[in-house]
Amino acid sequence: MPEFVRITDVGPRDGLQNEAAPVPTAAKVALIDALAGAGLPEVEATAFVRSDLIPQLADAAEVMSTIERRPSTVYSTLVPNERGFDAAVTAGTDKVAVFTAASETFSQRNTNTSIEGTLHRFAPVFARCDAQEIPLRAYVSTVIACPYDGPIDPSAVANVVEQLLAMGPCEIDLGDTIGAAKPDDIERLLEAVTPLVQMDQLVLHLHDTGGLALACAERALHLGVRHFDASCGGLGGCPFAPGAPGNISTVALAKLCASMGFETGIDTIAVADAATTVRSLLNRD
């Protein structure tokens, strides 16, 4: 039997959050339903964040209450703090995600606090997830390079990962936020973190800014990574590189996996159809 590679489609959250054009709630619901219907085992559906900061996702509760809930799909949501966690759980989220960074400057600019400040802010979410048996993902952004500080040493990433794991059970999601990684960078990163984290707890979140996301994914697959984020239609852009491609494309990644003999369970034609629909709403074609 082929080995399974788990792909989380983060397009409805990470993708749409970074798109300027507003998307109607019904179109978001249709996108999430289409992705689940296409066999995605996990969809990051939305975020419970302040609507004055991220108006694109102000309809989070309505999205969650309107989507069709397939038992074969995990519907996760991003939360910045305990208040967001409460709203997400009330809305029926299956899994929550919190976020920090490997770069101090990025953390300050993105979340208005230090890395330590972010950990302090979401420590209650770790405790609540543990008590309520809700799966938790912890994003570490800028794991390869920071738009302000330049290259990030893998040991800085390992340091943050170690602190996260000490806070409680969680999945570690390493984000190349600006898409700066080359395959050798991914190898060095994995050398630094895999002594700390189980492979089945590790997720890689690649951006295709430099056109090397697939090459990085291929190296990661060779090195044993079996869980990736991707975005239908490559939605997402990169806030620090206007006009650049966004997250690694779900279809391209699923096809890469298939070409290497892995199973993803994803109907790539159905994902491509969903991507075409949403990209036309965003005037991206």
Which residues are marked as active site? 238
Closer CB to Mg ion, residue 174 or residue 257? 174
- Of 128 and 185, the one with the shorter C-beta distance to Mg ion is 185
Q: How far is the CB of 71 from Mg ion (least distance, A)?
A: 27
Side chain identity at residue 106, one-letter code: F
Alpha helices in 38-182 (DSSP H): 60-66, 82-90, 104-111, 115-132, 154-167
- Smallest separation (angstroms) from Mg ion to the CB of 205: 6
In whole angstroms, the minimum distance from the beta carbon of 241 to Mg ion comes to 12
For Mg ion, how many residues bind (rule: CB under 5 A)? 2
> Which residue in this structure is represented by tokens 């199973």?
263
Whole-angstrom distance, CA of residue 210 vs CA of residue 148: 17
Q: Which of residues 143-172 bind Mg ion (CB under 5 A)?
A: none
> Could you tell me which stretch among 103-111, 124-132, 164-172, 243-251 binds Mg ion (CB under 5 A)?
243-251
Applying CB under 5 A, does 247 fall inside the site for Mg ion? yes
Place of tokens 């939360």: 79
Of residues 14, 19, 171, 185, which one binds Mg ion by CB under 5 A? Answer: 14
Contact between 100 and Mg ion per CB under 5 A: no
- Written as one string, the DSSP assignment of 151-217 is E--HHHHHHHHHHHHHHSS-EEEEE-TT----HHHHHHHHHHHTTTS-GGGEEEE-B-TTS-HHHHH
How many other C-beta atoms are found inside a 10 Å radius of the C-beta of residue 223? 16
Q: Which residue is nearest to Mg ion (CB)?
A: 14
CB atoms within 10 A of CB 11: 34
Of 124-132, 179-187, 239-247, 262-270, the segment contacting Mg ion by CB under 5 A is 239-247
Nearer to Mg ion, 11 or 84 (CB): 11
Q: What is the DSSP letter of 232?
A: G
CB of 189 to Mg ion, least distance (A): 16
| Binding-site ranges for Mg ion (CB under 5 A) | 14, 247
